Structures are given as structure tokens and as C-alpha cells.
Structure 1
Amino acid sequence: MADITRITPNTLINAERVEGTSVYNPQGDKLGTIDDIMLDKVSGKAIYAIMSFGGFLGIGEKYHPIPWSALNYDESKGGYVVNLDKRMLEAAPTYDMDEDFHWTPDYGRQVDRYYNAPTYW
């Protein structure tokens, strides 16, 4: 259950507004943008941010699921910061944008392990 004392009107956001939000590394380099959010349909909690990264003009871009717990919102950047660099991101679990991808618990555990995040599964 969420700590209600930490939730304020300024911490709530429509999922629609998260789409397109930039993701940066701690050095301030833009890594990509959030394209979607994976929610637990029972609790309503955000579990993964699906970030697009790579490619040129949308060609060759891949989706990178990142555990929501690995993202920190930085108001000064107007985006999320994740503690990784482009090289680490290039080796992260991905799937192609045009792929008919089916999420599995094994894939989720692989993502969580890669980012050393607590597993949802």
C-alpha cells in the first residue's frame, strides 16, 4: 500500500502525460523517451516503464523495459533519471517495436535482474 503521507497533488500524473517524457542518465545525457507504462492490473502500481532507444528517425528503435523502481523523477530536468549509461542500455533486455511481443514472468525476472531491481515476479 502506498504511503499516503508522501502523495500530494504535485506527485500525481496522468499516464498519458508520462508518455514522451525524457529519460536521462546521471550525467544528463538523454537516453530515450517513455513510450508506455506496464501496470499491475490488480494493485494499479506502475511496474515497468517502456522506453524507446536507438535507431534513426524511428528505424531500428527498440523498446527497453525498465523497472519503475529504477527511475527517479528530476523536476529540474522535467524527466526521469536512471543510473546507467548508453553502453549498459545497449546490452539491456529489449524487444523490437514491430514485434508482437508477449511478456512472460521469466522475461520480467530477466529485466529485474539486469537492473538489480526488486522483482515483481
Structure 2
Amino acid sequence: MADHEPEYFETSSLIASDMVEGTPVFNRDGEKLGKVLNLMVNKHSGQVEYAVMSFGGFLGIGEDHYPLPWKKLKYVVARHGFVVDIDKAKLDKAPKHEGNPVPIFDAAYSAMITGYYGNGR
């Protein structure tokens, strides 16, 4: 019996969450905005609600964390990363937090994020 965790790899339509974490995020003009830090998964539906994108700082200190609706991210093979239709000016004004304390991802927080970014792509 093996005493290590199995490793999961991507298929044509699925990818393991640990492979998503660290993936770069670009805007539509090709500028790197940050990288995926975490995925926030709804415990009841099993659906990914947000990708938390980290940006700035040095060695994890002073980074800002931006919750982006998962539906806003599109994986682009040629970029080896996600592309979002968000420019830097909109991102500068977007809801964010600096590491701790982590906000409570409840219905009110979800409504705020959806209100800022809108629904869908």
C-alpha cells in the first residue's frame, strides 16, 4: 500500500486544483495581472465560485488578494494562463483584501462581487 497522496493531472476538460493555483492571470491586452492563489468552492453545489488572485507584494508580503468570479476567467492555452476581460483601472477599484483577515464569502459578499464584475463573461 502506498503511503503518499495520488497525483491528479489535467485532461482535456478537467484540471486538478493544485495545478490551477499559481497559474498566471492576464487581461485581454496580455498584461499579467497576477496569479491564482486559491479557488473558493461552494460546499453545497460543489461549484467553484471565485478564484482568489494575488497581485503585488514581495515574497507574499504586501500582496493584495482579489476575488474574481470563476465565470470571468477563461483558460487560454497559448498563454498558459487565464485571461479576464478586466483592465487595470477596473482592477484598481475592485474589492480586495491584504491576506488576513480573509473576508467571509457569504451571500452579501457574493452580491458585492457580482455587483462589481457583473454576471457571466
The TM-score range, normalised by the shorter chain, is 0.7 to 0.9
Q: Which residue type is aligned with residue 96 of structure 2?
A: T
Q: CA RMSD in A?
A: 1.7
Q: How does 1:17-36 map to 2 (within 5 A)?
A: 17-36=19-38
Task: State the aligned residue count.
Answer: 111
Unaligned stretches of 5+ in structure 2?
Answer: 1-9
Q: TM-score, normalised by structure 2?
A: 0.84
State the 4+ residue runs in structure 1 displaced beyond 6 angstroms: none
Structure 2 letter corresponding to 1:27: D
Rg (Cα) greater in structure: 2
Identity among equivalent pairs (%): 41
User: Residue 76 of structure 1: SS of its match in structure 2?
Assistant: helix
Structure 1: give runs of 5+ residues left out of the alignment: 1-7
Choose which of 93, 110, 113 in structure 1 pairs with 2:112: 110
Does residue 58 of the first structure (1) align with residue 54 of the second (2)? Answer: no
C-alpha distance after superposition, 1:27-73 (max 9, x if no partner): 10000000000111122111110000133443321110000111111
